[in-house]
A = this chain, B = another copy of it.
């Protein structure tokens, strides 16, 4: 049974990448004016800004900072590159702390031709290496399982079960999972994995969008919830039943939407959110 519809925008968070053509300032002002409750800041949008000043501006506009996107990309063919990734993730943690973001989403990484089993080991080791700095900075890291179609060069972590295995191995209050419906909606074990991860305290972020039929681009053809075949509201029900009470984050990459009017797109986001999430 699906949960009740959502009646307001207080738990809606929008990712800056969703309205990619907007500068960070435009995103902040427009989200706040629309009544959106939260914002997830992408590092591209933050480039050239002082993270702490950006954080002040966001909070001053009345928005909650939900997370910083993104860290990760741990696997590499040589030790120097793996160490470089660890150093970079420590910088991302500093950036999140300065911004005032309580959480960093990890796109864990993959290298074409590097065996997935090795990449998976390197990911767990990389996260273990940066976790103490995350804890000291009071910033949580959230492993985002990515759709198996990204297993070549974006993430070797492709299911909730794999993300949970790393959480179980590293067992830290500063490590959790970011569930994006786009990546895991097809998983036959989704409901039970959500239940298990929620009970373990690992469900740390919930991203929504939709899978369009046909999908014409592997990266940038996502739809708003309701524009595709993902049972977003049902999955929200599972997530909430598992104890999650955070934001519902709209993260849409869409060439088509980015080419259009962003103010209209934001109106669509809030309307479709209330109707379909």
Contact = CB atoms under 8 A, between A and B. Distances in A.
A48 interface: no
B152 A149 contact: no
A231 B151 contact: no
A186 B161 CA distance: 14
Copy total for this chain: 2
Contacts of A113: 229
Contacts of A229: 112-113, 152-153
> Secondary structure at chain A's binding surface: helix, strand, loop or mixed?
loop
Contacts of A188: 116, 120, 158-159, 161-162
Interface string A171-193: 00000000000000111100000
A82 B158 CA distance: 32
A115 interface: yes
Interface of A: 112-113, 115-116, 120, 147-149, 151-153, 158-159, 161-162, 185-188, 211, 213-216, 218, 228-229, 231
Given A148-B149, A218-B218, 8 more contacts: A113-B229, A115-B231, A148-B148, A148-B186, A151-B186, A152-B228, A153-B213, A162-B188
